[in-house]
Amino acid sequence: MMEKILEVKDLNVSFNTYAGEVQAVRGVSFDLKQKECLAIVGESGSGKSVTAKAIIKLIHDPGVIKKGSSIKYLGEELANKNFDQMRKIRGSEISMIFQDALTSLNPTKKVGHQVAQSLIIHQKMGKREAFDKAVEMLRFVKIPNPERRANQYPHEFSGGMRQRAMIAMALVNKPNILIADEPTTALDVTIQAQIIDLLKDMQEELNTAIVMITHDLGVVAGSADRIAVMYGGMIVEQGPKKEIFYRPKHPYTWALLNSVPRLNTKSKETLYSIKGTPPDLIQPPLGCPFAPRCEFRLNICNEKMPTAYPIIEGHDAKCWLLDERAPKVKVFERLEV
């Protein structure tokens, strides 16, 4: 069994707003093993992006990572590190790429210099040397003409090329973990596939583990080893990709998988959608956050959040239906993705 390089336990992140404390992430726990790709999926507002940023503590005022949260990187606790201690890890051990590469690259700095940035910071390289290394890195992420491209500004890059440059920037120090916050959302489908392929190649060559944040199950199917499904600031189900796709246990996962449009959907058929809206995280529900939208809701669902029921090794779900006292429900015939 491979070594765990990241252990997140009971992560709580809140934002103090005028309206009240928004509990964006409520007790999230997961592990990441070496070279593994963990996909965190969920709809907007489920807390997946906040979870990702919390790993390298890029949570800014008014957001706070609450006491009791634990983020262990190679056994080292990150939760109580300050900004300067975190700096040593950011960009060298754990890197992050963002959704929209256009807005995540500094518009006033040449792409080559941006890629060189973390080399100068972490490897104490000289500017010239770092820039040459950056050009190599751009070549490595398959940007054609890297010598010329390195001297250009982000606005001279296409969307896909920008995301490649972002990836180069994040991976230039060969980090152990790459956090990818919806890396393909802003791209069109053909480019999406290329970026996913690139990330997989990089993962192979640099032995980087990836935390992939996405709402696109297609992306997950193509890249993930394990999947964590988030809803209302919690992980409601997690397990190996095959388990989640073929033997999901949580009604939210069912609903999510059911909403994926299929090639064999008849043209007149209405696309499935989950009725209702996600919960208000200023006053999060006592019970299961999905209960109000759940077709299989039991009385207890509104009152108490279930603990995780283990299904098989590495697969568990938080749903009362998995309790032995719960009525058996027949959910679905077969899901294909």
Partner 1 sequence: MAKYFLKRLIYAFFTVFIVITITFFLMHAIPGDPLGELVGRLPQSVQESYYAKYGLDKPVYQQYFIYIQNLFLRGDFGESIVYPGRSVNSIIARGAPISARIGIQGLAIGISLGITLGIIAAYKRGKWMDYFVMFVALFSISIPSFVFAAVLQYFLTVRYQIFPVTGWGTFAHTVLPAMAFGLRNIGVKARFMRSTWLDVMGQDYVLAAEATGMSKFDVTFKVILRNALTPLVTIIIPELAFIFVGTFVLETIFSIPGLGTYFIAAVSARDYPMIIGQTIFISTLYVTSMLVLDFVYVLIDPRVRLIKK
What residues numbered 275-314 form the site for partner 1, per CB under 8 A? none
CA 159 to CA 166: how far, in whole Å?
Answer: 11
Residue with smaller CB distance to partner 1, 91 or 232: 91
Question: Among 67, 128, 155, 268, which residue sits at the site for partner 1 (rule: CB under 8 A)?
Answer: 155
- CB proximity list for 10: less than 8 A, separation 6 or greater: 27, 28, 29, 68, 69, 70
Least distance in Å: CB of 68 to partner 1? Answer: 24
What residues numbered 157-186 form the site for partner 1, per CB under 8 A? 166, 169-170
- Helix or strand or coil: residue 105? coil
Cβ atoms of 52 and 30 closer than 8 Å? no
Question: Among 14, 49, 118, 214, which residue sits at the site for partner 1 (rule: CB under 8 A)?
Answer: 118
Nearest to 316 by CA among 3, 41, 32, 30: 30
Among the residue ranges 54-62, 68-76, 248-256, 299-307, the one whose residues contact partner 1 (CB under 8 A): 54-62
Does 49 contact partner 1 by CB under 8 A?
Answer: no
CA 162 to CA 165: how far, in whole Å?
Answer: 5
- Where is 316: in which H helix or E strand? strand 315-317
Does 117 contact partner 1 by CB under 8 A?
Answer: yes
Least distance in Å: CB of 121 to partner 1? Answer: 5
**Mask 75-114, x = binds partner 1 (CB under 8 A)?**
--------xx--xxxxxx--xxxxxx--xxxxxxx-----
Does 71 contact partner 1 by CB under 8 A?
Answer: no
CA 306 to CA 280: how far, in whole Å?
Answer: 19
- How many C-beta atoms surround the C-beta of residue 59 within 10 A? 18
Binding site for partner 1 (CB under 8 A): 53, 56, 58, 62, 83-84, 87-92, 95-100, 103-109, 117-118, 121-122, 153, 155, 166, 169-170
